[in-house]
Amino acid sequence: MSARNILVINCGSSSLKFALVNEAQATFPLQGLAERLGSPEAVVHWQLGDAKESLNLPGADHREILNHVLPLAQEAAGGQLDGIGHRVVHGGEHFTASSLIDANVLEGIRANAQLAPLHNPANLVGIEAAMALFPGLPQVSVFDTAFHQSMPEHAYRYAVPDFLYKEHGVRRYGFHGTSHRYVSKRAAEMMNLPVEDSSWLSAHLGNGCSTCAIVNGESRDTSMGLTPLEGLVMGTRSGDVDPNLHSHLARTLGWSIEQVDRMLNHDSGLKGLSGLSNDMRTLSEARQAGHPGATLAFEVFCYRLAKSLAGMACGLQKLDGLIFTGGIGENSAAVRERTLDHLKLLGFQLDGEANARCTRGVAGEIQVTGSPRVLVVPTNEERQIALDALALLDA
Ligand code: ADP
């Protein structure tokens, strides 16, 4: 059998990311991004082999983009496309693993839309468009939340009245599950440890950020909650604040729920603290030049991350390693160093040279001898989605 190809699709409300994953190739034969869908500025960028191209498609929606992507994917796959994998944000308590999509699965994704009103409907649009365009191909949904369904009740319940959980699903779900799952498996492979007898702390630090405690290949706790706002400081998201902030701002400034939500999700985090940017690379440069806002944002980001990791340690009996991943985790030696400065009590100490070496896709161990292990592991959510799709095809 020749190596199989899976087209991976990640639909946001006005964007669509895609990648063709070949099971035998380390790089993607095709990958791309369509943005500003539904507007006159709709555009799709893609890279096929070494060639980069862009096309303006004014007014294009998800379906039109997929119409355009299909022939590209077939070309990149040499005419042999074996399946499609869809990233779906919220699987609620319905989905504890990836699923082959049928009418029941579609209904389950729809039923969870209330928990992710911006994301699940966009994911469904992508799935339905792909099913209409590729009716003969198996399609698989891979949920951000599914990995965390193994959390024990004491980790996933909020201390609010019971009926809010039982009747309305108010609990902690967690996100970034595909990434935490992928990097913890990779870490076990890199260290020659059996996944089913290993314990990790993982920090996924991208535009969204979360930590996770992973035991024997299962999530035991994670920093995001009912929504991806809980937990760490992120690009534009505040992470944890006092839950009374909503009522405080309503009382003192007359703000509506929508205004507070917007501020916490879009104007906070690194952007809000620095007054400069949501982008850690920009902030790192500004910090080196002495910018006070960038310095503050960096310091709060690292301290809160360390605090979250120390808390996550409650989910473990032993530690085989702390994993850094995501754009910041994979590239910022300064964030790794400053974060571990705050975790000296747990014995962490970095090897400066190894820490500096692990950037731009270089994986490896970065601690000194005697310190608990610290690993940089590049994430690859597209490959994990394709692996899940292939496993379901084999089953
Ligand atoms: P997304 O969550 O959108 O997938 P990424 O995982 O690509 O995002 O992470 C984006 C973040 O990674 C941005 O804050 C970016 O500035 C940061 N980043 C990328 N390279 C570096 C670097 N060399 N130093 C510091 N931060 C970096």
234 and 352 in a single domain? The answer is yes
Instruction: Calculate mean pLDDT across residues 359-380.
Output: 98
In a domain, 123, yes or no: yes
Task: Label residue 116 by pLDDT band (50, 70, 90).
Answer: confident
Least confident stretch, 9-13, 188-192, 262-266, 310-314? 9-13
In a domain, 347, yes or no: yes
pLDDT at res. 115: 87
Please tell me which residue, 374 or 114, carries the higher pLDDT value. 374
Distance 157 CA to ligand 1 centre (A): 31
Distance 199 CA to ligand 1 centre (A): 26
In a domain, 38, yes or no: yes
pLDDT digits (tens, 9 = 90+) for 227-261: 999 999 999 999 999 999 999 999 999 999 999 99
Phi then psi for 7, rounded to 5 degrees? -90, 125
pLDDT at res. 13: 83
Q: Are strands 30-35 and 43-48 parallel, antiparallel or unpaired?
A: antiparallel
Which of the listed residues 84, 112, 143 is the one where a domain comes to its end? Answer: 143
Residue 30 above 80 pLDDT? Answer: yes
Distance 308 CA to ligand 1 centre (A): 20
pLDDT at res. 2: 86
Q: Whose CA is nearest to atom 8 of ligand 1?
A: 206
Which of the listed residues 112, 143, 174 is the one where a domain comes to its end? Answer: 143
Which of the listed residues 143, 176, 201 is the one where a domain comes to its end? Answer: 143
123 and 201 in a single domain? The answer is no
CATH assignment at residue 232: 3.30.420.40
Mutate to test the pocket of ligand 1, among 234, 332, 335, 381 (most ligand atoms within 8 A of CB): 332
How many structural domains does the chain have? 2
Ligand 1 atom having least distance to the Cα of 270: 14
- What domain range includes position 51? 5-143
25 and 111 in a single domain? The answer is yes
User: Residue positions in the annotated binding site for Mg(2+)?
Assistant: 10, 381
207 and 324 in a single domain? The answer is yes
Task: Label residue 117 by pLDDT band (50, 70, 90).
Answer: confident
pTM for the model: 0.96
98 and 200 in a single domain? The answer is no
pLDDT at res. 40: 95
In a domain, 320, yes or no: yes
pLDDT at res. 245: 98
30 and 98 in a single domain? The answer is yes
pLDDT digits (tens, 9 = 90+) for 169-214: 999 999 999 999 999 999 999 999 999 999 999 999 999 999 999 9
The mean pLDDT of the chain is: 96
Q: Whose CA is nearest to atom 13 of ligand 1?
A: 279
Active-site option among 82, 144, 221, 388: 144
236 and 108 in a single domain? The answer is no
In a domain, 167, yes or no: no
200 and 138 in a single domain? The answer is no
pLDDT digits (tens, 9 = 90+) for 271-317: 999 999 999 999 999 999 999 999 999 999 999 999 999 999 999 99
36 and 104 in a single domain? The answer is yes
200 and 126 in a single domain? The answer is no
Q: Whose CA is nearest to atom 12 of ligand 1?
A: 327
Residue 92 above 80 pLDDT? Answer: yes
234 and 89 in a single domain? The answer is no
Ligand 1: residues within 6 Å at CB?
206-208, 235, 279-281, 284, 326-328, 331-332
User: Residue positions in the annotated binding site for ATP?
Assistant: 17, 204-208, 279-281, 327-331
In a domain, 53, yes or no: yes
In a domain, 180, yes or no: no
199 and 212 Cβ atoms separated by less than 8 Å = no
pLDDT at res. 15: 92
**Catalytic annotation on 240?**
no
User: Residue positions in the annotated binding site?
Assistant: 10, 17, 87, 204-208, 279-281, 327-331, 381
In a domain, 173, yes or no: no
Task: Label residue 118 by pLDDT band (50, 70, 90).
Answer: confident
123 and 29 in a single domain? The answer is yes
Three-state secondary structure readout of the chain: CCCCEEEEEEECCCCEEEEEEECCCCCCCEEEEEECCCCCCCEEEEEECCEEEEEECCCCCHHHHHHHHHHHHHHHCCCCCCEEEEEECCCCCCCCCCEECCHHHHHHHHHCHHHCCCCHHHHHHHHHHHHHHCCCCCEEEEECCHHHHHCCHHHHCCCCCHHHHHCCCCCCCCCCHHHHHHHHHHHHHHCCCCHHHCEEEEEEECCCEEEEEEECCEEEEECCCCCCCCCCCCCCCCCCCCCCHHHHHHHHHCCCHHHHHHHHHHCCHHHHHHCCCCCHHHHHHHHHCCCHHHHHHHHHHHHHHHHHHHHHHHHCCCCCEEEEEHHHHHHCHHHHHHHHHCCHHHCCCECHHHHHHCCCCCCEECECCCCCCEEECCCCHHHHHHHHHHHHHHC
Task: Label residue 84 by pLDDT band (50, 70, 90).
Answer: very high
